[in-house]
Amino acid sequence: MTLHVEQRGSGPNLILLHGWGMNSAIWESVANRLAERFSLYLVDLPGYGLSQPAELITFDETCEQLSRILPEGIWLGWSMGGLLALQIALRCPSQVSKLITVASTATFVERKQWPGIKPDVLAFFAQGLTQDYRKTLDRFLAIQTLGSPRAKADIQQIRHQLQQRPEPALTHLNQGIEWLKTIDLRSGLSSLQVPWLQIFGALDSLVPKQAMPAHLQYRNIQQQLIAKASHAPFISHPREFVESIENFLFS
């Protein structure tokens, strides 16, 4: 697997996995502060950023190889990266001391008695990728910040960070959409062995806060809702985001 990983800071290992269409530069607003207390591993997922070119492999194979290449520690995944981190915690619990997911649930699509992304939203993005994927990514950025009182500034910051690395591979963007449509990890949650913090944005239109109660039937879960944040709370509310992590890990 071609995998670009930047290491920064010192302390317990903290592995950060970005979301769909993004790269590890997305963490810049919080990386320096986190590096004061952690050894960060900022990962460009296969097919994204500097982890190109990359072979197209399945979701489970991706999780297996990430767990093999990256060290044991605290795994933090945002959006699609949260799905990967959760699966690694389920499949390789010895690799994950604690789990943190951000704007991420055990299955993303809205299902019976399960709030989530409307299937037609993902279908819209899948179709857009075949027509004009740069425009589609711009629309995705706009949805991520929808409702945030500083949406324009958030979009500009995200776009600036993404431009620090090469554009993602179209094959992997299409695969990521398919993962978001089909991956469902709910059946494994009752066996989750590690402490799990879920961070949500109260204004998130992609992963709604209404999904929070559905997870509370499972053990080892703590939840944090950041008011006035949308899908990228570490961009709009970096201080509250880092404090949520530190409270979970050190309190």
- Other C-beta atoms lying within 10 Å of the C-beta of residue 192: 20
Amino acid identity of residue 54, one-letter, is A
User: By three-state DSSP, how is residue 114 classified?
Assistant: strand
Q: Catalytic: 231?
A: yes
**CA gap 229, 220 in Å, rounded:** 24
Q: Are 136 and 96 in contact (CB under 8 A)?
A: no
Classify residue 63 as exposed, middle or buried by CB count within 10 Å of its CB (0-12, 13-18, 19+). buried
Q: Assess whether the previous peptide bond of 53 is cis (omega < 30° from 0).
A: yes
Distance between CA 66 and CA 211 in Å, rounded?
A: 27
Q: Which residue has the tokens 């949805």?
A: 143
- From 24, 67, 79, 236, active-site residue: 79
Which of 18, 172, 231, 237 is flagged as catalytic?
231
Catalytic residue among 39, 44, 172, 204: 204
Active site residues: 79, 204, 231
